[in-house]
């Protein structure tokens, strides 16, 4: 009772399961050795550099990160003056987070640092593979970003577009 579609999905899942530790290890290791940030706070920066402004809940939702953890990671980023809290005048419970100018600069430098090792490997690819890799990461990112926002948490439902 397995049709082509199901098989395809299985392969996608398998690819993602295989892919994950590859990214995980190469990224998180250099995050720790080369920055004073946790991996978690770097992911928050990544989200903020795409979405500009996010509330605490939205961050937790988009990264499937428990709320208390978001608080802790954002605290660290604030201590580094990389993000700032913006209080929402319409709903004073909501804490919006935005990167500071310093944060944006730092993030560029950090990405450079963190990815140094990966960069050296990618640089060795020929033009065609490089293009293919670029296109493919873009597709995977866009599609997963679209479907993976966690809707299982009821508190996340409202953030779905």
Residues that bind a second copy (CB under 8 A): 5, 8-27, 29, 42-43, 46-47, 50, 63-65, 111, 114-115, 117-119, 121-125, 127, 129-141, 143-145, 147-148, 150, 152
What does the alpha-carbon distance between residue 104 and residue 107 come to, in Å, rounded to a whole number? 5
What does the alpha-carbon distance between residue 40 and residue 140 come to, in Å, rounded to a whole number? 21
95 versus 156: smaller Cβ distance to a second copy: 156
Binding site partner of 81, from a second copy, DNA, none, Cβ cut-off 5-8 A by kind: none
Q: At a CB cut-off of 8 Å and minimum separation 6, what does 60 contact?
A: 66, 67, 69, 70
When asked if residue 151 is in the footprint of DNA (CB under 7 A), the reply is no
Q: 44, 62 in Cβ contact below 8 A?
A: no
When asked if residue 69 is in the footprint of DNA (CB under 7 A), the reply is yes
85 versus 119: smaller Cβ distance to DNA: 85
């Amino acid at each position: 009772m397995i049709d082509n579609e199901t098989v395809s999905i299985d392969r996608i899942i398998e690819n993602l399961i295989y892919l994950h530790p590859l990214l995980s290890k190469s990224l998180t290791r250099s995050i720790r050795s080369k920055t004073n940030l946790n991996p978690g706070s770097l992911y928050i920066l990544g989200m903020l550099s795409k979405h500009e402004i996010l509330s605490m809940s939205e961050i937790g939702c988009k990264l499937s990160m428990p709320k208390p953890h978001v608080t802790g990671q954002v605290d660290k980023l604030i201590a580094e003056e990389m993000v700032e809290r913006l209080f929402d005048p319409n709903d004073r419970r909501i804490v919006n987070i935005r990167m500071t100018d310093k944060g944006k600069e730092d993030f560029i430098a950090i990405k450079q640092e963190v990815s140094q090792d990966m960069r050296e490997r990618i640089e060795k690819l020929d033009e065609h593979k490089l293009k293919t890799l670029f296109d493919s990461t873009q597709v995977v990112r866009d599609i997963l970003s679209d479907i993976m926002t966690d809707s299982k948490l009821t508190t996340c439902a409202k953030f779905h577009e």
